[in-house]
């Protein structure tokens, strides 16, 4: 665990590594990608072969954390709190077998999601393995250290692009209705969904695993060789128009979609909408 510089975090991870239920531990998120700043927390992934009793997790975290919510179930099984050193920490518990099946479904069977299709893949590849009892996590990293296939990219685009333009439940059409109803919560909700699919398509067209939900504009500018015209200004404009309840938002969405479609066309990725 030489990579861990925070001594409080190191002591916490050493205790978890001593449990028989723990196969591996990794640091991901901004600390895994070296994009951390003063506001970044530690995203710790604890890969387990069996459930660690809540009371055991409570006891271990109480040794090293000044605050802790144990056994949150909002997304995955998590313990969320703050280390005695002051940095926030998330402990996320996963099974390696579960992750393997999820990645196989998306990467090899080409079954994408509506938004965030390749986030688990990106998370795995960017993880720093801190503890790996039988090298199972590193073997999983090796298995999925593969190119982003054009077949997968085509599937992601085919799944998501219709929702930006001409599918019956397309988000821009829903936003137009919401504006007419002056239902501005719905406008925000549907714009968020639009952007989820937008970025899934953008990263797919660039054959880059989706890096997750934070700092997406910054990461896209850094990693994508092909960006839509006026990309950064477009993102700012969409959020501004939604926030000011502007009737110009549908036109701005149409321009954003057309510019994104130009990136897809430039990529040469052939996709078929089912």
Residue 93: beta bridge partners? 46, 77
What is the predicted pLDDT for the residue at 37?
61
Place of tokens 């890096």: 211
Cβ-proximal residues to 11 (8 Å cutoff; 6+ apart), any chain: 63, 64
Q: What is the mean pLDDT of the chain?
A: 93
Q: pTM for the full model? A: 0.90
What is the predicted pLDDT for the residue at 156?
98
Q: What phi-psi label fits residue 103: left (phi over 0), alpha (psi between -120 and 50 degrees) or beta?
A: alpha
Same domain, 48 and 161: no
What is the predicted pLDDT for the residue at 272?
84
What is the predicted pLDDT for the residue at 40?
76
Give 108-148 pLDDT, tens digit per residue.
999 999 999 999 999 999 999 999 999 999 999 999 999 99
- Assigned token pair, 104: 């196989």
Same domain, 82 and 39: yes
How many other C-beta atoms are found inside a 10 Å radius of the C-beta of residue 35?
A: 16
CATH of the domain at 37: 3.30.460.10
Domain end, chosen from 80, 109, 139, is at 139
pLDDT over 50 (residue 70): yes
The answer to the question of residue 113 being in a domain is no
Mean pLDDT within 84-112: 96
Q: What is the DSSP letter of 135?
A: S
What is the predicted pLDDT for the residue at 244?
87
Alpha-carbon distances, residue 88 vs 32, 34, 53, 56 (angstroms):
15, 17, 22, 20
Domain with 256 in it: 150-267
pLDDT over 90 (residue 29): no
The answer to the question of residue 2 being in a domain is no
Alpha-carbon distances, residue 260 vs 50, 219, 257 (angstroms):
44, 16, 5
The answer to the question of residue 274 being in a domain is no
Same domain, 192 and 234: yes
Q: How many domains does the chain have?
A: 2
Give 216-237 pLDDT, tens digit per residue.
999 999 999 999 999 999 999 9
What is the predicted pLDDT for the residue at 32?
46
Question: Between residues 30 and 71, which one has the greater pLDDT?
Answer: 71
Alpha-carbon distances, residue 22 vs 138, 143, 173 (angstroms):
14, 21, 48
Same domain, 134 and 159: no
Give 169-198 pLDDT, tens digit per residue.
999 999 999 999 999 999 999 999 999 999
């Amino acid at each position: 665990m030489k990579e861990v510089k925070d001594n409080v975090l190191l002591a916490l991870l050493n205790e978890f590594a001593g449990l028989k239920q723990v196969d591996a531990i990794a640091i991901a998120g901004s600390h895994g990608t070296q994009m951390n700043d003063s506001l970044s927390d530690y995203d710790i992934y604890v890969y387990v072969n069996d459930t660690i009793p809540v009371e055991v997790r409570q006891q271990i975290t109480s040794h090293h954390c000044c605050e802790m919510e144990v056994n949150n179930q909002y997304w995955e099984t998590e313990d969320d709190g703050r280390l005695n050193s002051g940095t926030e920490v998330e402990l996320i518990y996963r099974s390696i077998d579960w992750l393997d099946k999820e990645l196989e479904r998306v990467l090899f069977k080409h079954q994408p999601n509506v938004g965030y299709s390749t986030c688990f893949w990106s998370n795995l590849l960017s993880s720093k393995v801190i503890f790996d009892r039988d090298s199972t996590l590193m073997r999983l990293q090796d298995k999925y250290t593969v190119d982003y296939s054009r077949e997968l990219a085509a599937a992601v685009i085919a799944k998501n692009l219709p929702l930006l333009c001409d599918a019956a439940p397309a988000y821009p059409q829903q936003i137009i209705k919401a504006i007419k109803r002056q239902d501005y919560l719905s406008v925000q909700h549907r714009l968020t969904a639009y952007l989820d699919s937008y970025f899934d398509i953008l990263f797919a067209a660039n054959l880059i695993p989706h890096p997750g939900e934070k700092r997406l504009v910054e990461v896209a500018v850094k990693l994508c060789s092909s960006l839509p015209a006026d990309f950064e200004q477009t993102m700012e404009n969409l959020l501004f128009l939604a926030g000011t309840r502007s009737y110009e938002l549908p036109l701005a969405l149409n321009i954003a979609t057309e510019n994104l479609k130009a990136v897809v066309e430039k990529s040469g990725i052939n996709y078929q909408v089912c």
